[in-house]
């Protein structure tokens, strides 16, 4: 999804991930016990970004337990705080010009993001899209055009976003087009002109629309089923053609050049036989492509540019096996922010000066965590019962290897989405669990992204069925390998992972000793009725991917855990944000009520100031503390019962 909000929020993902603690394994774990808060408190500093002129960097840091925006002149020792929000952390920020920073925030987790602006000296703090019940989406931050950005607002119609050109100093807006009701994405060229759009046709087909100039109407240049896609990355540097990720006529996404006048691919720039190629990067200063990205078990690059490849090589000599990424809002690209991370470290930030070849560390995200006390996240694979290869990750407590890991307590952690994937990298909840003596098992079940169209489509209308079988097959693989103690296996997940948790204890009631459902779907019928208004245009796609309440009512009832609570005997802990716009609180309410009526033990935590994720630090602490106690109690209890 080409949504700047997603990019801006990356720095908080690690802190927002959910975790659970545990009971002692049968063997002694050599890791030092680390306080729970050390895993889940706010980073010390995060999300560093250079100003366009390279004079300043801005970053996020805690103020009164909330992440706020700070700015510091390069070469100076002190920073200035630009925001002072105490109710909820800033979601993210970016530079609007050399002198002005823009930031996004919502209210209580409702995801109706509002855009604000503030000058680097703290003046002219202004709400730019401060409208009630309206969501702001970034279309183009216009890095080469000072004082303006292009945004999308669902102010006129809650279901769709109209594009506006916004003056970031005054707040004046000009609508660039009126959404006819089916456009989901807008695309600009390198001059910030609105030239392309992606629209839903007939509910399930998608069309790519194009125009040569902004005073012309959009014309349809390509229509495909939503199962195929051509996702624009950006225009070619002459603003004529498009670089895009495409799986038209192929299983895996490839990077192609596309001619919008003919509706045809001109050439393939890079494809990979095993994985989707999901991103393309370029140099703004030199106007050349530099690299494409795909993910095997780690993120990998394919280089188009020798200069960038040499810079990556320079960093590899510096950091070794540590993963790193580059960012430069600096127009001259003579300075870069280098962010590093591993599976054992949340990472650090460095300032790299190209002219002097000088690399200076500017911050550690979590200096209180000792990397030597963390556990390794290992890639694994296994076969599903119908022959698919399922890739995943297994994190063993410190002191264990694949050779000596025997009869360990395990937390099975299916990801959310479900059309998403787990990746290698630092995950505070995984490290917390490993520190408490658990093995943590993450798997990219069918439907997970990055493995091609066929693997993705294999998940359609398979909630609670073959998608769940992939999870179950992985658990049985761990048992067969002797790694898992079958009496001490828990399942935990958020969003779709929460659904998979409920499905796990419903459809395989003897497999798990404890379960934790976080903002999970329990009833596919009510879930479809309560989705955010801006998802409504995609409802027919959801019907095809999940199920149609009218045509597939039997299938959806069979797959909805709330209708099968009579099968559940596993102790369950449910957590929910009251303002969740994606998975309505009613999903958790009805599950808890149904279980209580049957006398099944269920703990329920609701946070009134949260949405689809516990964002405030104190709420994360409450959640993990309660989960650690819950899991410790029931995993130990199941093991004792099994022994008798």
Give me the catalytic one of 207, 459, 495, 588: 495
Name the residue with tokens 């909330």.
Answer: 66
Give the CA count within 13 Å in the CB-facing half-sphere of 318.
Answer: 18
User: What local confidence, expressed as pLDDT, does residue 601 receive?
Assistant: 77
For residues 220 and 263, give the distance between their C-alpha atoms in angstroms, rounded to a whole number: 9
CB of 495 closer than 8 Å to CB of 583: yes
Dihedral sign computed on CA atoms, order 609, 423, 522, 228: positive
H-type alpha helices, 391-465? 428-435, 453-457
pLDDT at 184 over 60: yes
580 an active-site residue?
A: yes
Q: Of how many residues is the chain composed?
A: 644
User: What local confidence, expressed as pLDDT, does residue 2 receive?
Assistant: 37
Domain 377-643: CATH superfamily, name plus number? Alpha/Beta hydrolase fold, catalytic domain (3.40.50.1820)
415 an active-site residue?
A: no
What is residue 431's three-state secondary structure? helix
User: What local confidence, expressed as pLDDT, does residue 637 receive?
Assistant: 62
pLDDT at 12 over 60: no
Name the residue with tokens 């943590």.
Answer: 440
Q: How confident is the model at residue 17 (pLDDT cuts 50, 70, 90)?
A: very low
Rounded mean pLDDT, 357-383: 97
Model pLDDT for residues 68-123, shown as the tens digit of each residue: 999 999 999 999 999 999 999 999 999 999 999 999 999 999 999 999 999 999 99
Angle at 514 between CA 510 and CA 520, to 5 degrees: 100
For residues 186 and 62, give the distance between their C-alpha atoms in angstroms, rounded to a whole number: 34
Model pLDDT for residues 190-247, shown as the tens digit of each residue: 999 999 999 999 889 999 999 999 999 999 999 999 999 999 999 999 999 999 999 9
Q: Write out 45-112 in H/E/C secondary structure.
A: CEEEEECCCCCEEEEEEEECCEEEEEEEECCCCCCEECCCCCCCCCCEEEECCCCEEEEEECCCCCCC
Model pLDDT for residues 566-575, shown as the tens digit of each residue: 999 999 999 9
Rounded mean pLDDT, 275-286: 96
495 an active-site residue?
A: yes
pLDDT at 443 over 50: yes
Q: How confident is the model at residue 600 (pLDDT cuts 50, 70, 90)?
A: confident
Sheet arrangement for strand 358-364: 323-327, 335-341, 348-353, 358-364
The kind and range of the H/E element at 19 are none
CB of 397 closer than 8 Å to CB of 340: no
Give me the catalytic one of 271, 422, 470, 580: 580
Model pLDDT for residues 530-572, shown as the tens digit of each residue: 999 999 999 999 999 999 999 999 999 999 999 999 999 999 9
User: What local confidence, expressed as pLDDT, does residue 479 receive?
Assistant: 98
Instruction: Name the percent of the chain lying above pLDDT 90.
Output: 91
User: What local confidence, expressed as pLDDT, does residue 7 receive?
Assistant: 34
User: What local confidence, expressed as pLDDT, does residue 331 receive?
Assistant: 80
**What ranges make up the beta strands (E) of 168-273?**
173-175, 183-188, 194-201, 205-210, 219-225, 230-235, 242-246, 254-259, 264-270
| 29 vs 291, residue with greater confidence | 291
Q: Where are the domains of the chain?
A: 377-643
For residues 427 and 345, give the distance between their C-alpha atoms in angstroms, rounded to a whole number: 9
CB of 111 closer than 8 Å to CB of 71: no
Model pLDDT for residues 323-342, shown as the tens digit of each residue: 999 998 778 899 999 999 99
Give me the catalytic one of 140, 271, 588, 612: 612
The pTM for the full model equals 0.92
């Amino acid at each position: 999804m080409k949504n700047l909000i997603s990019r801006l929020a990356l720095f908080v993902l690690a802190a927002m991930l959910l975790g659970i603690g545990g009971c002692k394994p049968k063997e002694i774990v050599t890791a030092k016990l680390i306080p729970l808060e050390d895993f889940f408190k706010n980073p010390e500093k995060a999300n560093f970004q250079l100003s366009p002129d390279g004079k300043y960097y801005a970053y996020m840091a805690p103020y009164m337990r909330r992440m706020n925006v700070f700015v510091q002149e390069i070469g100076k020792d002190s920073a200035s705080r630009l925001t002072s929000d105490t109710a909820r952390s800033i979601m993210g920020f970016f530079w609007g010009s050399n002198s002005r920073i823009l930031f996004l925030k919502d209210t209580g987790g409702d995801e109706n993001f509002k855009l604000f602006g503030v000058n680097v000296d703290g003046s002219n703090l202004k709400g730019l899209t401060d409208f009630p019940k309206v969501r702001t989406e970034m279309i183009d931050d216009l890095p080469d055009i000072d004082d303006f950005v292009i945004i999308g607002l669902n102010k006129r119609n809650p279901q769709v976003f109209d594009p506006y050109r916004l003056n970031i100093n005054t707040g004046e807006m000009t609508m660039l087009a009126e959404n006819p009701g089916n456009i989901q994405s807008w695309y600009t060229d390198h001059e910030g002109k609105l030239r392309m759009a992606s629209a839903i046709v007939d509910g399930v087909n998608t069309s790519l629309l194009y125009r040569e100039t902004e005073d012309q109407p959009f014309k349809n240049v390509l229509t495909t089923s939503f199962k195929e896609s051509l996702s624009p990355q950006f225009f070619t540097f002459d603003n004529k053609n498009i670089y895009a990720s495409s799986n038209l006529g192929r299983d895996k996404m490839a990077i192609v050049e596309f001619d919008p006048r003919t509706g045809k691919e001109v050439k393939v720039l890079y494809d990979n036989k095993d994985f989707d190629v999901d991103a393309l990067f370029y140099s703004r200063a030199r106007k050349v492509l530099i690299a494409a990205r795909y993910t095997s078990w780690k993120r990998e690059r394919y280089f188009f540019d020798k200069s960038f490849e040499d810079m990556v090589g320079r960093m590899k000599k510096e950091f070794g096996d540590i993963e790193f990424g580059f960012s430069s809002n600096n127009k001259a690209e003579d300075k870069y922010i280098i962010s590093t991370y591993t599976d054992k470290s949340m990472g650090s930030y460095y300032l790299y000066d190209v002219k002097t070849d000088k690399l200076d560390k500017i911050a550690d995200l979590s200096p209180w965590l000792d990397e030597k006390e963390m556990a390794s996240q290992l890639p694994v694979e296994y076969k599903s019962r119908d022959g698919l290869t399922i890739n995943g990750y297994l994190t063993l407590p410190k002191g264990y290897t694949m050779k000596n890991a025997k009869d360990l307590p395990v937390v099975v952690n299916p990801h959310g989405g479900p059309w998403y994937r787990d990746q290698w990298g630092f995950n505070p909840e995984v490290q917390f669990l490993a520190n408490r003596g658990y093995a943590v098992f993450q798997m990219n079940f069918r439907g997970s992204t990055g493995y091609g169209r066929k693997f993705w489509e294999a998940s359609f209308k398979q909630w609670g069925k073959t998608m769940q079988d992939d999870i179950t097959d992985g658990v049985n693989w761990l048992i067969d390998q002797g790694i898992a103690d079958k009496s001490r296996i828990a399942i935990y997940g958020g969003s779709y992972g929460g659904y998979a948790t409920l499905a796990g204890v419903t459809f395989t009631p003897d497999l798990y000793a404890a379960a934790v459902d976080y903002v999970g779907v329990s009833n596919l019928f009510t879930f479809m009725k309560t989705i955010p208004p801006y998802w409504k245009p995609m409802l027919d796609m959801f019907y095809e991917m999940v199920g149609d309440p009218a045509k597939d009512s039997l299938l959806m009832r069979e797959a909805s855990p709330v209708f099968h609570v009579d099968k559940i005997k596993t102790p369950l802990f449910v957590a929910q944000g009251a303002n969740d716009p994606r998975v309505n609180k009613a999903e958790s309410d009805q599950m808890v009520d149904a279980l209580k009526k049957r006398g099944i033990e269920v703990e329920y935590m609701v946070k009134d100031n949260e949405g689809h994720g516990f964002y405030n630090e104190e709420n994360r602490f409450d959640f993990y503390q309660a989960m650690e106690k819950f899991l410790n109690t029931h995993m130990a209890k199941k093991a004792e019962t099994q022994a008798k």
